């Protein structure tokens, strides 16, 4: 087993953990965290692919790609977190007329309901 093979497997495992976490958790902040793990898994896989034959210097192209990816990931995470914060804040301040809708939305994070409607609701926000 080579170094590259070890980290290829690790990247795959971290990505899968991220996928499972993304769909398992109802809490939107946890879903954002899962997305970050998925991204890191992909980065690890990419760089390990560029390290298959051990040379004195590694293939710099995946490094540059992943460096770009890390910065894009942090900016999308920031936007996502602001979206999530605004979502919970506006869900909280909704009027009496739509109290049912906001209760349904908070149930996305609080309860483990098997409600299909609330599932799609949460999914839309995450993407």
Partner 1 sequence: MNGALLIDVLLAAGLVVLAGASLRARDLFTGVVTFMIFGLLMSLAWVRLAAPDLALAEAAIGSGITGALFLGAMRRLEESAPEVIAPAPERPPGANGRFALALGGIPLALYFAATALVPALLDGPSGLAEPVAAVLKESGAENPVTAIILNLRGYDTMLELVVLLLAWSGVCVLQGELGRTNIVPATGELAVLGAFVRFLRFPGVIVAGYLVWVGGAAPGGAFQAGAMLGGVGAVGLMAGGAIRPLYAGPGVRPVLVAGAGIFMIIGLLLSITAGAFLAYRGAQAKTLILIIEILSTLSIGLVLTLLFAACTFPPSPERPGEPVEGAP
28 touches partner 1 (CB under 8 A) = yes
Nearest distance, CB of residue 104 and partner 1, angstroms: 14
Contact 69, 39 (CB under 8 A): yes
Q: Does 35 bind partner 1 (CB under 8 A)?
A: no
76 belongs to the binding site for partner 1 (CB under 8 A): yes
Does 109 bind partner 1 (CB under 8 A)? Our answer is yes
The CB-of-97 to partner 1 minimum distance in angstroms stands at 20
Residues 90 and 101 sit within 8 Å (Cβ to Cβ): no
Taking a C-beta distance cutoff of 8 angstroms, is the pair 39, 75 a contact?
no
Residues 33, 89: Cα–Cα separation, whole Å: 20
Q: How far is the CB of 120 from partner 1 (least distance, A)?
A: 12
């Amino acid at each position: 087993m080579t170094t590259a093979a070890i980290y290829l497997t690790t990247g795959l495992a971290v990505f899968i953990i991220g996928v499972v976490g993304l769909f398992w958790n109802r809490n939107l902040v946890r879903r954002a965290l899962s997305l970050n793990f998925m991204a890191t898994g992909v980065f690890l896989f990419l760089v390990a692919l560029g390290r298959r034959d051990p040379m004195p210097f590694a293939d710099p192209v995946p490094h540059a790609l992943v460096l770009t990816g890390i910065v894009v990931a942090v900016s999308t995470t920031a936007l996502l977190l602001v979206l999530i914060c605004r979502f919970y804040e506006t869900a909280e301040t909704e009027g009496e007329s739509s109290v049912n809708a906001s209760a349904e939305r908070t149930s996305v994070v609080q309860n483990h309901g098997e409600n299909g409607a609330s599932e799609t609701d949460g999914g839309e926000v995450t993407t």
